[in-house]
Amino acid sequence: MGRKTFKRSRSHFTDRITADGADGWPVEADRYRLVISRACPWASRAAISRRLLGLEGALSLAITDPLQDDRSWRFTLDPGGKDPVLGIRFLHEAYDARESEYPGGVSVPAIVDVPSGRLVTNDYQQLTLDLATEWTGLHRPGAPELYPEKLRDEIDEVMEGVYEDLNNGVYRSGFATGQEEHERAYGDVFRRLDLLSERLAGRRYLVGETITEADIRLFVTLVRFDAVYHGHFKCNRSKISEDPVLWAYARDLYQTPGFGDTVDFDHIKRHYYGVHTGINPTGIVPAGPDLAGWLTPHHRDQLGGRPFGDGTPPGPVPAGEEVPADHRP
């Protein structure tokens, strides 16, 4: 009997929150709660988008413990171990409120309807696109266009390759149960990284002159690469910090408001090394790597480009949402 190849589960709850409420979920300020883990790259996309678009005052944020257990993501970081808005201890409670005896996995990001306590969506691929395009009435003044209509075809094409080979490729490498499976995924990861390095050598951002959804989706993998994917997922041909182009690009984004201020390296490391016991049975979390380099000059501004286009940077991180000082460089 052949070994199973890692295959990412599709989102089960794909309702959309839209301006016209076509799926029964209209965009409304203070109605929904975004649940994330700072460890998870898919959830980090949503955290970055929310910051860049200035939706903090309209869409509240719940942050889970990086170490979930067999009862799902848990709210042990909050007083009493309960989310203060939803009043639940585990995210599966919102899933159960939506569909009793739901048999699938409980994933983040998730958006929960606060009045009913029901999960609305866990569709990580569509969620951030809707934040950028359907929630415009609640965007802050000066919010950037993260999914501009005239660039969508190119953005979609770039994002598809990044997802298949890199975002998901590192997982296919790390969870491979056979040598050939691992080597195929490993090859995809570094082939895509090489292509991205070539693309970014003469341009500041992936598509156009400003930050777009494509940059967010690439960043969340790059920022985790040296800390967890290089060793834990056996993607060890080279580190991002050893590629001058990708390392400068990643630092440029990290130092841009809305990106690095959402990154919690402690949560990232403790989750991957502590939860994936099949890969790391000892549960030991490596002491490294040294994070100081993330704050060094990148000089990418010499390539031109305007991070926020005609807009402005987001304001300070809201009180209570700051990443602890000892969890960042």
Q: What pLDDT score does 2 carry? A: 40
Catalytic positions, written as ranges: 40, 171
- How many of the other CB atoms lie within 10 Å of CB of 97? 17
Q: What pLDDT score does 180 carry? A: 97
Specify the amino acid at residue 202: G
Q: In terms of domains, do 218 and 265 share one?
A: yes
Domain harbouring 128, CATH code: 3.40.30.10
Q: In terms of domains, do 164 and 107 share one?
A: no
**Where are the alpha helices (H) located in the chain, listed in sequence order?**
41-53, 92-98, 124-133, 152-162, 169-174, 179-200, 213-224, 244-254, 265-275
Is residue 16 one of the residues assigned to a domain? no
Cβ-contact 27, 137 below 8 angstroms? yes
Is residue 18 one of the residues assigned to a domain? no
Domain boundary among 138, 159, 182: 138
Domain harbouring 265, CATH code: 1.20.1050.10
d(C-alpha 157, C-alpha 109), whole Å: 23
Q: Is 135 annotated as a binding residue?
A: no
Q: In terms of domains, do 188 and 255 share one?
A: yes
Is residue 206 one of the residues assigned to a domain? yes
Is residue 4 one of the residues assigned to a domain? no
Domain boundary among 138, 158, 181: 138
Is residue 95 one of the residues assigned to a domain? yes
Is residue 14 one of the residues assigned to a domain? no
Take residue 72 and report the two structure tokens written for it.
């799902």
Q: What pLDDT score does 1 carry? A: 33
Q: Per residue of the chain (329 residues), what is the pLDDT tens digit?
A: 344 555 555 568 999 999 999 999 999 999 999 999 999 999 999 999 999 999 999 999 999 999 988 889 999 999 999 999 999 999 999 999 999 888 788 999 999 999 999 999 999 999 999 999 999 999 999 999 999 999 999 999 999 999 999 999 999 999 999 999 999 999 999 999 999 999 999 999 999 999 999 999 999 999 999 999 999 999 999 999 999 999 999 999 999 999 999 999 999 999 999 999 999 999 999 999 999 999 999 999 999 999 999 999 999 999 999 999 999 99
Q: What pLDDT score does 3 carry? A: 44
Place of tokens 């970055």: 48
Q: In terms of domains, do 181 and 285 share one?
A: yes
Is residue 17 one of the residues assigned to a domain? no
Q: In terms of domains, do 131 and 154 share one?
A: no
Containing domain of residue 75, as a range?
Answer: 32-138
d(C-alpha 320, C-alpha 61), whole Å: 10
Q: In terms of domains, do 118 and 194 share one?
A: no
Please give the DSSP secondary-structure letter assigned to residue 175.
T
Side-chain half-sphere exposure of 221, counting CA atoms within 13 A: 23
Is residue 19 one of the residues assigned to a domain? no
Count of domains for the chain:
2
Q: In terms of domains, do 111 and 212 share one?
A: no
Q: In terms of domains, do 161 and 234 share one?
A: yes
Q: In terms of domains, do 202 and 77 share one?
A: no
All residues at 6 or more sequence positions from 129 whose CB lies less than 8 Å from its CB, including other chains: 147, 213
Q: In terms of domains, do 292 and 180 share one?
A: yes
Domain boundary among 105, 138, 171: 138
Q: In terms of domains, do 302 and 159 share one?
A: yes
Q: In terms of domains, do 182 and 80 share one?
A: no
Q: What pLDDT score does 324 carry? A: 97
